[in-house]
Amino acid sequence: MGGDIFGRELRLISFGESHGPVVGAIVEGAPAGLPLSEEDVQRILDLRRPGQSELVSQRAERDRVEILSGVFNGFTTGAPISMIVRNEDIDSSYYEEISRFPRPGHADYVARLKYSGYNDFRGGGRFSGRLTVSMCMAGAVAMKILEKLGIEVMAYSLEIGGERAEGFTLDDARNYRYMNPVRAPNEESYLRMAAAIERARREGDSLGGIVEAIALNVPPGLGEPIFDTIEGDIAKAMFSIPAVKGVEFGSGFRAARMRGSEHNDPIRVIDGKIRYKKNDHGGAIGGITTGEPIILRVAFKPTPSIAKPQETVDLELLRNVEIKVKGRHDPCVVPRAVVVVESMLAFTIADHIMRSMRGAI
Amino acid sequence: MGGDIFGRELRLISFGESHGPVVGAIVEGAPAGLPLSEEDVQRILDLRRPGQSELVSQRAERDRVEILSGVFNGFTTGAPISMIVRNEDIDSSYYEEISRFPRPGHADYVARLKYSGYNDFRGGGRFSGRLTVSMCMAGAVAMKILEKLGIEVMAYSLEIGGERAEGFTLDDARNYRYMNPVRAPNEESYLRMAAAIERARREGDSLGGIVEAIALNVPPGLGEPIFDTIEGDIAKAMFSIPAVKGVEFGSGFRAARMRGSEHNDPIRVIDGKIRYKKNDHGGAIGGITTGEPIILRVAFKPTPSIAKPQETVDLELLRNVEIKVKGRHDPCVVPRAVVVVESMLAFTIADHIMRSMRGAI
Amino acid sequence: MGGDIFGRELRLISFGESHGPVVGAIVEGAPAGLPLSEEDVQRILDLRRPGQSELVSQRAERDRVEILSGVFNGFTTGAPISMIVRNEDIDSSYYEEISRFPRPGHADYVARLKYSGYNDFRGGGRFSGRLTVSMCMAGAVAMKILEKLGIEVMAYSLEIGGERAEGFTLDDARNYRYMNPVRAPNEESYLRMAAAIERARREGDSLGGIVEAIALNVPPGLGEPIFDTIEGDIAKAMFSIPAVKGVEFGSGFRAARMRGSEHNDPIRVIDGKIRYKKNDHGGAIGGITTGEPIILRVAFKPTPSIAKPQETVDLELLRNVEIKVKGRHDPCVVPRAVVVVESMLAFTIADHIMRSMRGAI
Amino acid sequence: MGGDIFGRELRLISFGESHGPVVGAIVEGAPAGLPLSEEDVQRILDLRRPGQSELVSQRAERDRVEILSGVFNGFTTGAPISMIVRNEDIDSSYYEEISRFPRPGHADYVARLKYSGYNDFRGGGRFSGRLTVSMCMAGAVAMKILEKLGIEVMAYSLEIGGERAEGFTLDDARNYRYMNPVRAPNEESYLRMAAAIERARREGDSLGGIVEAIALNVPPGLGEPIFDTIEGDIAKAMFSIPAVKGVEFGSGFRAARMRGSEHNDPIRVIDGKIRYKKNDHGGAIGGITTGEPIILRVAFKPTPSIAKPQETVDLELLRNVEIKVKGRHDPCVVPRAVVVVESMLAFTIADHIMRSMRGAI
């Protein structure tokens, strides 16, 4: 048991279930004096809200955040910041059969095993993508810490269903990603990705994709050798997002085919400052930030819930069956995952900022 | 500061520096009653020892482990198991200039920044690949826990310098990987990889590669939603190994281009047991092990220390210079990393085993 | 910042403020399959509720618990159990001046310093005795774990205002303590304590006292050398209860005046079982439970809020002033603290039970 | 298992056994740039060394510390500081029978139970007072942090065998405590305590006592509500010292008999600064330091090893026996415990200093 707490100095406690009364988050260890309102949190939450287009599921959640503690007169107090979103528009009737006929690609079967059948299986319970709501709420707090230091975090859909974004600038991504429902960094890639998702949806199937995330203006020196590396902590954060299958930094898996002379980033004095000439390292060397942008890519598998019939077992009669998964599902989770990736990236960096305020005496 | 402790129930504390008196490890939280001898640990350590061939560096370390506590009459006692290896054959003269001329691809510059110049920079200090000795020592203890449960952990060089192993079976890998100095899973790939390394070495350059790791007979139910997922904890462990740039599980980044109907692993009753028909999920769904083999791939960048001249800065005069890195270096770290990947994978699984012994009452 | 999480395997996260929307608790790491209802928690909460007599303050809180997650179909699921109590009947008008005129014996001044004035000072905020509500909620869950193992936890007022309970048996304490508003173990001591409290109240003053707590049927072997001793963890839990000034186990401070021949508990075979002849050790030796009852005493200072005028400072004008503390206050916190002591004792033992389920392999 | 790590930002890992090769300590999380030498650590270690007089045991340990990592060029590097002391002059022959005939007042029996007989029982193993060596080593590092901030930590024997020190000043204690083998604060009390110890020794018996400890110039604001109170963390540290039965702060158990009007410390402007008129609170209110001296008292039971015959059981034949404990033992542990109390107090404060460097942004 356990596993619901993330971070060391800044800690996120996730609670709630998909079809229980609430999804919630507590941010513990946040400094006093951050300006924070429900609107600040709502703004982030709204970026993951479905129901905005045909491309995401039609569950009509309003997802209104309530801050229950830790904020006073518009500022954080240093006490735990607890936030909840009430679950509404729940139709659990679809899900009763989950406990008997585990859905391929979902955690239904292992959850039943692990919790001896006591888990709240409705809608996937703790394993539902809905729990990313708590990540976004925490991300909103983390972003307030980053703002103080001028750090910017940004993610976008780099690739969906094999359609890869190309020819975009950082500014394109910054300005356009939340202007389109697939969170593509520019219009051309948006159109291609949207068409691919629509195609998959019509065929009762689903798509995977890749989210790319960048953190700018990160101070050098964050991250700790040997175990609490900035990459290791970010990767752990990313794997807590449902459907993630891989994480890479900088040149990533491509680095495996590079030579040292090609991969090493030359160090230069540029405008009187020490900089790296390029950024194949992705913003961290030896687990420590270099001051260059942190850049990572996160691979998402295709949504496991599809309309097509699938093979599974009847756990009561212990025999093979075929099922069709009911309920409302996104044909691709990547668009909704973008702000979640941003949130968890922001949270992990904020945690390390809190840690690193203790330097050499 | 901090960051030298890994794990939750089974904890690894790493200590020591590349050119200090020792490299050491403490394993805290291990159960009493495990058979453990210095030979058991030495066997693992020897698998990462250089000096065995021309393909790895010529530093003539014997790396003899001493167990200083936690073992009595040949069995673990439940107390912290402390182990050290004395650093021998140290020639720090090469390294004095590191503090002034940071080597590209190394942490020299960020370490100096982070620790206000107080870090032990000799040989890279805490950032040296030599610190993986502590990971192997801890891995040896973890493997004793896995053995009790019949779990097998195995890694091998899947790809080096673009030469990818093919046409091998699990048995090939199990039997052959430590029979050859590049840790390839079969002879054919060994020859190709060795030739590539030799070519790079002669050119004063270096290569990256990919290690594939597998854990067999892992019980279902390990891992915790939402944050302490088995993948997240393994990924964090992998990123603590120097030079790692990416980690993926099962179909990994390839999953981003699959459709749900293709990626989902059908659940079947096979011989009266519930099994997954294939293993694109890589042994874990929803962060929880499924009972299928855990399978992951870890991308390593090329060794940053190369003989070719490189661009860097003189930190004292704050101007651009060109350096040639001295010292003895592996043209490819992947062969030595294989047993380190095995060790950290074993450790992470053992930690989760210790956690999961508390199930439903 | 931080400090709101207690426990290692079973973790209690406290949130909320005295005059904010809620006081809440999350219990993380609880096993799946424990029967738990709101009534179970309410029963414990009601034992600390004021308004039951003239001896405790008149704030008319109903303190109705709502379980927001972690329970499904009447059983715990293994997910975080989040519980809140809405704050009602709040009159913050009394408290506005706290930030300017810190109350002697309260944390008003240090809280303002620590949080740079951003803390929610109303009613003492996080430092209010009201936060013990979260301890009771968590205690209710812990007691369910103890019940499974037949462990009984019991506390009572041993001494109030110098009036010490005498001549009572364990059964007296078990049956009578919640039958009387001062939580005395027998009627005779109740009458003396109640009279003392009434006297202090009429004089605008307050009293301290001692709570004695006992845990029965605790299995031997709980607690960990060297730091996570059972006494150390219980003591830490006790000092988290407001107004606690001292904690002692078994013979406690009296042991300082005993001789070894007198203090050592002889070990005997009694009815074929190994037992200690007496229990001056108080249930733990070397930090590990012995199987004998854990027995401890917790010293509480007198309630700092008194009706009498007191000396303090005007933090704005930085000069000495005299204040009279307004608001409704208990002339003695001990009666309300009894169930809090029980709760935190139960929680700490339950945490160690969760830890100790991993023994020698 | 587990329990060998203390602290949150500054972490002490204890390892080693009484009759194993070493006793060791790692201090993790210490800042870079602290001046630290083996002499600094040796100075603290020497203050707990036996063999200095007839009043403490005659085991002729030299206890020479070796620093194995974390220090470079005379300064801490930010990496783990590992330190060992080799165990010498070990005569384990006395102790073989411990596993069969558990000594009253010792953890022999519960250790055997807890570790299924695999524990290193020689000399008490992990439960030996010898393990306080690791606390002193860590204390030496912590004191370097305190020195930077001008914080002074001081402990002395307040009472031994009922002989209580009286009529001494803070300066007396500061100057005299390490000038006399019982660590009394002045000569008059030294003579009385020494005579009492000598009397007990001649009678084959032992004495308990009370150590009083004070920390001066502690900045206000250390400690965290609700659980990581400064008192709670100090108390936990104290209970990790063998033989401790009680801990109290400020007026302590005496507070239980005081009235609020008497106990509350008036707040005053003194010389333009805000101070408390007296210090019955003992340096912390609401778990947070006030800037007044932290003052605590720690009760020690009499040494359990006495020359007199004692009742115990033969664990193999499961019957009652009488034993005489062999070996060399202090008739009173208090004199040796004084520097251990100082060390753990210093460590706990240093840990909170490291935590509190993150304030309001």
Considering the domain boundaries, does residue C170 fall inside one?
A: yes
**B168 is a domain residue:** yes
Is A360 a residue whose pLDDT tops 50?
no
- Note the pLDDT tens digit of each residue in C224-237: 999 999 999 999 99
Determine the pLDDT at residue D313.
Answer: 96
Is A305 assigned a ligand-binding role in the annotation?
yes
- Looking at CA atoms only, how far is residue B118 from chain D in angstroms? 5
Q: Which of A17, A18, A110, A119 to mutate to test the interface with B (most CBs of B within 10 A)?
A: A110
B24 touches chain D (CB under 8 A): yes
pLDDT of residue D57 exceeding 80, the answer is no
Kindly report the pTM of this predicted structure: 0.96
How far is it, in rounded angstroms, from Cα D262 to Cα D97?
Answer: 55
Q: Which of D8, D13, D18 to mutate to test the interface with B (most CBs of B within 10 A)?
A: D13
Q: Is the pLDDT of residue C360 over 50?
A: no
Q: What is the mean pLDDT of residues C295-317?
A: 96
Mutate to test the interface with C, among D267, D314, D357, D361 (most CBs of C within 10 A): D267
Interface touch C357/B358, C-beta < 8 Å = yes
pLDDT category of residue D263 using cuts at 50, 70 and 90? very high
Q: Does residue D46 carry a pLDDT above 70?
A: yes
Q: What is the pLDDT of residue A359?
A: 43
Q: List pLDDT tens digits, range D165-213.
A: 999 999 999 999 999 999 999 999 999 999 999 999 999 999 999 999 9
Chain-centre distance of CA C132, in angstroms? Answer: 7
pLDDT at D314: 95
- What is the SS3 assignment for chain B? CCCCEECCCCEEEEEECCCCCEEEEEEECCCCCCECCHHHHHHHHHHCCCCCCCCCCCCCCCCCEEEEECEECCEECCCCEEEEEECCCCCHHHHHHHHCCCCCCCCHHHHHHHCCCCCCCHHHHHHCHHHHHHHHHHHHHHHHHHHHCCCEEEEEEEEECCEECCCCCHHHHHHHHHHCCCCCCCHHHHHHHHHHHHHHHHCCCCECEEEEEEEECCCCCCCCCCCCCHHHHHHHHHHCCCCEEEEEECCHHHHHHCEHHHHCCCEEEECCEEEECCCCCCCEECCEECCCCEEEEEEECCCCCCCCCEEEEECCCCEEEEECCCCCCCCECHHHHHHHHHHHHHHHHHHHHHHHCCCCC
**Cβ-based contacts of A287 with chain B (< 8 Å):** 3, 107, 127, 239-240
Chain D residues 330-359 with a CB less than 8 Å from chain B: 354
Q: What is the pLDDT of residues C123-173, one digit of tens each?
A: 999 999 999 999 999 999 999 999 999 999 999 999 999 999 999 999 999
Q: Does residue D361 lie in a domain region?
A: no
Helix, coil or strand: residue A178: helix
Q: Which of the 8 DSSP states describes residue D218?
A: P
**Residues D273 and D255: beta-carbon distance below 8 Å:** no
Kindly state whether residue A11 falls inside one of the protein's structural domains. Answer: yes
Q: What share of chain C is helix, strand, coil (3-state, %, to 5)?
A: 35, 25, 45
Q: What is the DSSP letter of A255?
A: G
pLDDT of residue D95 exceeding 60, the answer is yes
Q: What is the DSSP letter of D4?
A: -
- Give the pLDDT band of residue D360 (cuts 50, 70, 90): very low
Among residues C249, C250, C280, the alpha carbon closest in space to that of C264 is found at: C280
pLDDT digits (tens, 9 = 90+) for B53-75: 545 554 555 799 999 999 999 99
Q: Nearest CA to D241 among D94, D151, D345, D143?
A: D345
Whether residue D246 and residue C253 make contact (CB cut-off 8 A), yes or no, is yes
Close Cβ partners of D171 (under 8 Å, ≥ 6 residues apart)? none
Tell me which of C347 and C50 has the higher pLDDT: C347
> Which structural domain, as residue segments, surrounds residue B159?
5-356
Q: How much is the average pLDDT of C233-261?
A: 98
CB nearest to B357's CB, from C145, C225, C357: C357
Cα–Cα distance measured from residue B226 to residue B242, given in angstroms and rounded to the nearest whole number? 27
Q: What's chain B's average pLDDT?
A: 93
Q: Using CA of residue C302, residue C308, residue C314, residue C320, what is the dihedral sign? A: negative
Residue list for the binding site of D for FMN: 126-128, 286, 301-305, 328
What was the pLDDT predicted at D211?
98
Q: Which of B22, B72, B80 is the closest to D4 by Cβ?
A: B80
Residue C361: inside a domain = no
Among the residue ranges A176-185, A270-279, C54-63, D231-240, the one predicted with the least confidence is C54-63
Using a CB–CB cutoff of 8 Å, tell me whether A307 touches chain B: no
Count CB pairs under 8 A between chains A and C.
158
pLDDT of amino acid C61:
53
Mean pLDDT of B75-79: 97
Give the phi and the psi of residue C76 in degrees, each rounded to 5.
Answer: -70, 150
Confidence grade of residue A267 (pLDDT, cut at 50, 70, 90): very high
d(CA B100, CA B115): 15
Q: Enumerate the known binding-site residues of D for NADP(+).
A: 48
Q: How confident is the model at residue A94 (pLDDT cuts 50, 70, 90)?
A: low
Mean pLDDT of the D80-100 span: 84
CB contact under 8 A, C359 and B31: yes
**Residue B247 confidence (pLDDT) above 60:** yes
Percent of chain A scoring above 70 in pLDDT? 94
Q: Does the residue B361 lie in any domain?
A: no
CB contact under 8 A, D288 and C111: yes
- Give the model's confidence band at B360: pLDDT under 50 very low, under 70 low, under 90 confident, else very high: very low
The pLDDT confidence band at residue B2, using thresholds 50, 70 and 90, is: confident
pLDDT tens-place string over residues A46-71: 998 754 554 555 455 579 999 999 99
pLDDT of residue C361: 44
Q: Which amino acid is at D35?
A: P
Return the structure tokens found at B184.
């390839």
Asked whether the beta carbons of B141 and B81 are under 8 A apart, the reply is yes
The model's pLDDT over C165-185, given as tens digits with 9 standing for 90+, comes to 999 999 999 999 999 999 999
Cβ partners under 8 Å of residue C73, min gap 6: none
CA distance C298 to D311: 31
**Residue D154: inside a domain:** yes
For all residues of chain A together, what is the average pLDDT? 93
Closest partner CB to A358 (pick from D79, D148, D354)? D354
Instruction: Specify the CATH number for the domain of residue C265.
Output: 3.60.150.10
Bigger pLDDT: C53 or A236?
Answer: A236
Question: Residue A1: pLDDT above 80?
Answer: no
Q: What are the backbone dihedrals phi and psi of residue A137, each rounded to the nearest 5 degrees, phi first?
A: -60, -45
What is the pLDDT at residue D131? 97
* CB-CB under 8 Å, D232 with C236: yes
Angle subtended at Cα B115 by Cα B110 and Cα B118, rounded to the nearest 5 degrees: 120
Q: What pLDDT does residue B328 have?
A: 72
In this complex, the residue of C104, C237, C272 whose CB is nearest that of residue D267 is C104
**A318: exposed, middle or buried (Cβ count in 10 Å: 0-12, 13-18, 19+):** exposed
C257 interaction partners in chain D (CB closer than 8 Å): 159, 161-162, 208
Which of D12, D69, D73, D121 is best to mutate for the B interface (most B CBs within 10 A)?
D69
Q: Which residue has the higher pLDDT, B222 or B2?
A: B222
Q: Which range (B56-60, B223-227, B319-323, C248-252) has the least confidence?
A: B56-60
Nearest to B94 by CA among B333, B307, B332: B307
Flag whether the ipTM exceeds 0.85: yes
Element holding D269 (H helix, E strand): strand D267-270
Q: Which residue has the higher pLDDT, D298 or C61?
A: D298
Q: Is D319 within 8 Å of C269 when comparing Cβ atoms?
A: yes
**pLDDT one-digit tens code per residue, C201-212:** 999 999 999 999
pLDDT over 90, % of chain C: 87
Q: Is the pLDDT of residue B252 over 70?
A: yes
Chains touching D (at least 3 CB pairs under 8 A) are A, B, C
Taking alpha carbons only, the member of A195, A178, A235 closest to residue A48 is A178
Q: Which of residues 158-197 of B touch A (CB under 8 A)?
A: 159, 161-162
Question: Cβ distance A282 to A215 under 8 Å?
Answer: no
In Å, what is the CA distance from A105 to each residue of A108, A303, B246?
9, 8, 23
Averaged confidence pLDDT in chain D: 93
A80:C21 CB<8 A: no
CB pairs under 8 A between B and D: 158
Q: How far is the C-alpha of D211 from the C-alpha of B329, rounded, in Å?
A: 56
Q: Is the pLDDT of residue A219 over 80?
A: yes
For residue D284, what is the enclosing H or E element? strand D284-285
Determine the average pLDDT of the residues in C313-319: 94
Q: Apex CA C95: angle with CA C91 and CA C100, to 5°?
A: 165
For the stretch C87-97, pLDDT in tens is 986 776 666 78
Tell me which chain A residue has its CA closest to the CA of residue D35.
A361
Residue-wise DSSP of A123-173: GGGGGSGGGHHHHHHHHHHHHHHHHHTT-EEEEEEEEETTEE--S--HHHH
How many structural domains comprise chain D?
1
Task: Name, in order, each residue with C-beta under 8 angstroms of B6's C-beta and a sequence gap of 6 or more.
Answer: A226, A227, B12, B14, B236, B237, B240, B347
Q: Is C126 on the interface with D (CB under 8 A)?
A: yes
Place of tokens 């010389």: D271
**Across the interface, do D84 and B68 touch by the CB < 8 Å criterion?**
yes
**Domain for residue A192, yes or no?**
yes
Say yes or no to pLDDT of B303 above 50. Answer: yes
As a whole number of angstroms, the distance between CA D361 and CA A354 comes to 10
Name the nearest CA neighbour of D27 among D6, D46, D42, D48.
D6
Is the N-terminal amide bond of C323 cis, ω within 30° of 0? no
Residues of chain A with Cβ-Cβ distance to D79 below 8 Å are: 225
Q: Is B14's CB within 8 Å of D80's CB?
A: yes
What is d(CA C99, CA B21) in angstroms, rounded to the nearest whole number? 55
Q: Any CB–CB contact under 8 A between B319 and chain C?
A: no
Nearest residue on chain D to A353, alpha-carbon basis:
D358
pLDDT at D94: 65
The answer to whether residue B264 neighbours chain D at the CB level (below 8 Å) is no
